[in-house]
Amino acid sequence: MILLYHSGFFTHYEENRKEIRNTSLKTAYTTDDENVYSVSHYSLQYELFKNNLPVQATAEMTIQANNFTSNRNIPLVLNPGLKIVRIKDEHGRELSYKQNTLELIVNLSQPLQNGESIKIILEYRGDIDTRVVYLRRKEKDPGILNNKNENALLPTSTFENEPVLLNREYSYLLPESFWYPQLYNPYTYIYPDKAPVNFFTGEWSFDVPKDLTALAPGLLESVDSTTVSGRNRFQFNTSTPVKGIAFVAGAYKTYSMNVSGIDFQLYVSEKHAQIVEFFSEIKEDIRSVIADALRGINEITGLDYPFPSLTYVEVPLSIQWYQDEGLYSEAIAQAGMILLPEYSVATSYERDFKRRIDRTERSGEKITDADIKKSLFINMVLNWIFSDQMWAFGSRQIPTPMSSFWSQRVNFTGELYPLFEYYFDKFLQQLVTNELNFFVTNETRPTMFVDFGGGFDWNAWQFQQTFGVHIDTMYRYVRTNSLGEMRPDPESVNFHAVMKFKGLKLNYILQEIITPEKYKMVLQRFLNEYAYKNASVKDFQKICEEVHGESLNWFFNSWLYSTAFPGYVITALDAYKLEGGKQGVRYQVELKIKNGEKDPGFLKVALTTEGGQLVKRSEIQDNQELQFNFLSDDVPVEIIVDPVFSQNQNALRKKVRIPDDFDKRQAWDGIKVVNVLTEETGEIIIDDLDPGFKVIQLDEQRYFRPVRNQNAWSVRVMENAFGKYKFTYRLKNKGTGLMPAQWETDIPVSGVYDVQVYIFEMKDSGYKWLERTIATKFKYTIPEGTFVNAGTNNAVNHDKRTGEFFLEWRIADPGWNSLGQYYFEQGAAAAVQLSDDADGRVIADAVRFVPVEPGSPPDKY
């Protein structure tokens, strides 16, 4: 087989040629909006392994000049293993040329004026030089070269087992291998965000050995095959513009059917044909399942499947080794043609069928073989054909047809083009994946509330699996690098993570802001107006605003240029029982939530009741507080706030407490801005994740005495714990008092402060095991400051002799509990220590210093 791949930052063998090339060509070929030259049509004849030559080809190109007065030189690129035999114009006159590695400069007999076009015919032959390809290696993939130098081409001789080749058994040619002549623009490779793509029509003829079948992407509208002199010839035509052409040939057996006007095709290796044939008795079921899936895509996204065929090609499993995260949309999947690793067809479904048979026999379940096969095929549709990503042996595979809606029909250019080119389509596929079960299996639709919060309501490990970096690393990176300032860097994990992160944010929030129905209209209009054209982020924003009817500058500017993230804190949650409703009672729930950061955001708030779920959505400006009011005839249970892509790493969840007595207030349902924002109180809070929290080692290390494990105070996550954006606490088994936890802060203003500790509620939290094992009393000390008086909290006892405070956690009220009042001088280091000397587990969460009489010392000290 041949597998050729590049990272999008192509240069020649010699680094110094980049500067020479850029200097000599930039005057003639520089343009902001359009390539200087464009190819409108190709006519290509390709012969493989004929007359002892791997490749013999003739390419006719119709080239048009744009954006300059006149020029006699046409710059092309061609695989360096392919050598030019001759070049002629449409009148049969030979043209001079200069071929140097990839560069091919064609000299015209007459200057080509702006707007004029010319046909040139190139004849060439040779073998594909695999050194054009960039291969990316993960550390544990021993067979693949790790190419650190992006300007170097990989020499073939470095591979012990040659993974990139063109042979008589299997061939796969990508546009990026330059197996046919293509226009060259220096900005395409040096400044890729400035490079528009050339769309073209054409005819392609492939002559291959008689035992091979040739195929090409789904945009090709017709195919004709003949056998001449013991060889197979395949003719493909397209009047629909494409921006590249791939070619696959192998010893295939073909299965096809018409599904809703689309040719559904499966190309399977002859040695695996029997595995596919065992589905033959459910042919009509297969047709129905595929039709349901295509209908589902249309209803979910508003988009029709855009290609005349949907082709799946079985390929050697080794192809999965050459995926490059974020760059595959133009590499190993072309429009309407998807590669299917041979493992999935040859092994998995035969294996799964046998397992199902065995299981039904053991259980006595009455189910036919046809029903089992249909179930397996539905699984194939959901997990392979229309899934958001494909898997084989734990490795991600090629993208799905949904990806082709974007990567093949519209080319994104300008700043941030990778955001759309690589990740925008993933959001569409995510929508499809979430709901496709409903259309294919008629199962219940998923709940309307889907959490897309800062960490997708996942833990840090799950976030890292999705985006490739730790969530805290993501936040740090984005705070110093706005999208508008980023340059495309395919080798950067952070670059891809931010693009994916912000790409999902763009689409998800836009859908919520303008409503899902209007978002479908945006997709339809955008695809129609910019189909087979180059488009920028500004073009997309323009369509969004026209459909929405309002300016979206606030959102796009924040999304592109902000280095901040919104962050949300629930400031109040109240519930009231009112007269009225179906049963004579209705409930009003009032939630206040504040965005305390310098970046606007978007909120989705759901009230879960015994009868279902009520959802409200709203944008929220920076430093703004909103009130969400819900009216429900059903008993409220819980409020869930989806902090869409914010510093909050989890959804905010609060149980709703219903009072016994009725309230006389006026019923009101809606969202409003709180008129008076919460004033600054001067209070100081130190949480267990803040720099002011630390674990102290009281005993010294002597001789062979080991240093105590600082991680003994383990970090635990709990929704009831205190936290601004992360809700955590520290937990330690009982000790001897030699490893206390300490909260410390500098006092900004002299005065009396009420010192308080936070006690979270364990009731109905699923933490009964913790409540049973915690210590009877927690021992606190305040080393500095002057004691003024003790608090009135019954759960706290103060030992005046030792100055220690003992708090009984089980009887303390949830929330802030006062230890007592202390006077601190300005600049003093105020601290609270919690001893691990206890009869059970000890919990450390947060401490608060609340000013009582700032600036005036009391009489008692």
pLDDT for 717 equals 82
| Token code pair at residue 43 | 């006519």
Domain with CATH 2.60.120.260 in the chain: 684-854
User: pLDDT tier at 346 (50, 70, 90 boundaries)?
Assistant: low
Q: Which amino acid would we find at residue 358?
A: D
Extract the tokens encoding 694.
Answer: 């630390």
Model pLDDT, residue 596: 84
pLDDT, mean of residues 624-645: 91
Domain covering 405-561, topology: Neutral Protease; domain 2 (1.10.390)
pLDDT in tens, 766-820: 677 788 889 999 999 998 888 888 777 788 888 888 889 999 988 888 889 999 9
State the pLDDT at residue 426: 67
Q: Tokens standing for 810? A: 């089980």
Name the one residue in this structure whose structure tokens are 């690393």: 473
- Which comes out higher in pLDDT, residue 290 or 42? 42
Look up residue 520 and give its two tokens.
Answer: 């479908």
What pLDDT was estimated at residue 144?
A: 26
Q: Are 618 and 644 in contact, with CB atoms under 8 Å apart? A: no
Delimiting residues of CATH 1.10.390.10 domain(s) in the chain: 405-561
Q: Give the pLDDT mean for 690-697.
A: 88
Most confident of 201-210, 345-354, 440-449, 462-471: 201-210
Contacts of residue 702, Cβ cutoff 8 Å, sequence gap at least 6? none
pLDDT, tens digit, 9 for 90 and up, residues 11-42: 332 333 333 333 333 333 333 344 578 899 99
In this predicted structure, the answer to whether residue 10 has a pLDDT above a threshold of 50 is no
Residue 610: CB atoms within 10 Å:
9
pLDDT band at 407 (very low <50, low <70, confident <90, very high): low
Please work out, in degrees rounded to the nearest 5, the angle formed at the alpha carbon of residue 289 by the alpha carbons of 287 and 295. 100
CB-based contacts of 627: which residues, under 8 Å, 6+ apart? Answer: 590, 591, 592, 671, 672, 673, 674
User: Distance between CA atoms of 832 and 158, rounded to whole angstroms?
Assistant: 63
Q: What is the DSSP string of 61-108?
A: EEEEE-SSSEEEEEEEE--TTEEEEEEEETTS-B-EEEEETTEEEEEE
Both tokens of 121, joined, read: 């015919």
pLDDT at 189 over 50: no
pLDDT at 805: 93
Tell me whether strands 652-655 and 309-315 are parallel, antiparallel or unpaired.
Answer: unpaired
Start-to-end CA span in the chain (Å): 87
pLDDT for the residue numbered 784: 87
Confidence of residue 2 (pLDDT cuts 50, 70, 90): very low
- What pLDDT does residue 13 have? 29
The CATH class of the 568-673 domain is mainly beta
Range 678-699 average pLDDT? 80
For the cut 90, the answer to whether the pLDDT of residue 504 exceeds it is no
Least confident of 450-454, 579-583, 603-607, 619-623: 450-454
Segment of 191-195, 361-365, 836-840, 856-860 carrying the highest mean pLDDT = 836-840
**Mean pLDDT score of the chain, rounded to an integer?**
75
pLDDT at 401: 57
User: Residue 730: what pLDDT?
Assistant: 94
Ranges of beta strands (E only) in 364-406 are 391-392, 395-396
Q: Where in the chain is the domain with CATH 2.60.40.10?
A: 568-673
pLDDT at 653 over 60: yes
pLDDT of residue 675: 53
Q: What was the pLDDT predicted at 267?
A: 85
The CATH classification of domain 684-854, taken from the options 3.60.20.10, 2.60.120.380, 3.40.50.2300, 2.60.120.260: 2.60.120.260
pLDDT over 90 (residue 316): no
pLDDT at 50: 93
pLDDT of residue 233: 94
Neighbours of 83 (CB within 10 A): 12
251-404 is classed CATH 3.30.2010.30: yes
Q: Who has greater pLDDT, 359 or 464?
A: 359
Question: Percent of the chain scored above 90 by pLDDT?
Answer: 25
The pLDDT score that the predictor gives to residue 279 is 73
pLDDT of residue 294: 83
Nearest in space to 402 (alpha carbons), one of 265, 527, 275: 527
pLDDT for residue 68: 61
The enclosing H or E element of 528 equals: helix 516-530
- In this structure, of 15-29, 238-252, 417-431, 684-698, the range with the lowest mean pLDDT score is 15-29
CB-count burial class (<10 Å; 0-12, 13-18, 19+) for 339:
buried
User: Residues with Cβ < 8 Å from 580, sequence gap 6 or more?
Assistant: 586, 667
Q: Where are the CATH 2.60.40.1730 domain residues in the chain?
A: 12-127+180-238
What does the DSSP assignment read for 234-303? EEEEEEEEES---EEEESEEEEEEEETTEEEEEEEEGGGHHHHHTTGGGHHHHHHHHHHHHHHHHHHHS-
Mean pLDDT, range 722-739, rounded to an integer: 88
Residues 701-724 pLDDT 10s: 444 444 455 558 998 888 788 887
In CATH terms, the fold of domain 12-127+180-238 is Immunoglobulin-like (2.60.40)
Q: What is the mean pLDDT of residues 284-295?
A: 84
pLDDT of the residue at 465: 59
Q: At residue 9, does pLDDT exceed 80?
A: no
**How many other CB atoms are found less than 10 A from the CB of residue 667?**
15
Mean pLDDT, residues 438-467: 49
Is residue 731 over pLDDT 50? yes
| pLDDT tier, 406 (very low <50, low <70, confident <90, very high otherwise) | low
Question: For position 22, what pLDDT does the model report?
Answer: 39
Q: Where in the sequence of the chain do the CATH 3.30.2010.30 domains occur?
A: 251-404
Helix (H, G, I), strand (E, B) or coil at 834: strand
Query: What's the rounded mean pLDDT across residues 406-415?
Result: 71
Most confident of 411-420, 429-438, 534-543: 534-543
Would the pLDDT of 363 be above 50?
yes
**pLDDT, tens digit (0-9, with 9 covering 90-100), for 58-97:** 999 999 887 665 678 888 999 889 999 999 999 999 999 9
Range among 265-269, 333-337, 390-394 with highest mean pLDDT value = 265-269
Instruction: Pick 418 or 860 by higher pLDDT.
Output: 418
